[in-house]
């Protein structure tokens, strides 16, 4: 209700800002919706839901691109903040042939 007042701890009336709560909720909805929309676009753009050979190629590409990108990002964070991030061990090589398990449960 617009114009409704509540009593504060000191006993004085203070206006209730309900519009602020609505703005905060809508802002969080917009952020989450943008992240979800970006994920859907990425799946569509990389054709991850298409044929299994394209999906497997996309996973191999991600496996080659993500570790160097994470290393570069950690170096950037170290330079900007002065923090020392310990060197992580190399990620294990995972081979999961999608083509062999596609529709295996049917």
pLDDT in tens, 43-68: 888 777 878 788 788 888 888 888 88
pTM score above 0.85: no
Q: Looking at residue 106, what is its pLDDT?
A: 62
> Which neighbouring-strand residues pair with 7?
13
Please identify every stretch of the chain with a pLDDT value under 50, giving residue numbers as ranges.
1-3, 7
pLDDT value at residue 24: 76
Distance in angstroms (rounded) separating the CA atoms of residues 66 and 85: 18
CB 58 within 8 A of CB 47: yes
Q: Quickly tell me which residue has 């950037």 as its tokens.
A: 76
Look up residue 84 and give its two tokens. 């020392």
Predicted pLDDT of residue 37: 93
């Amino acid at each position: 209700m617009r114009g409704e007042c509540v009593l504060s701890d000191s006993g004085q009336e203070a206006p209730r800002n309900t519009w602020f709560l609505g703005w905060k909720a809508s802002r969080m909805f917009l952020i989450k919706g943008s992240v979800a929309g970006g994920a859907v676009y990425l799946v569509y753009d990389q054709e991850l839901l298409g044929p299994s050979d394209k999906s497997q190629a996309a996973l191999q590409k991600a496996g080659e691109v993500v570790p160097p990108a994470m290393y570069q990002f950690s170096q950037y964070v170290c330079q900007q903040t002065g923090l020392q991030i310990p060197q992580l061990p190399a990620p294990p090589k995972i081979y999961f042939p999608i083509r062999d398990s596609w529709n295996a449960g049917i």
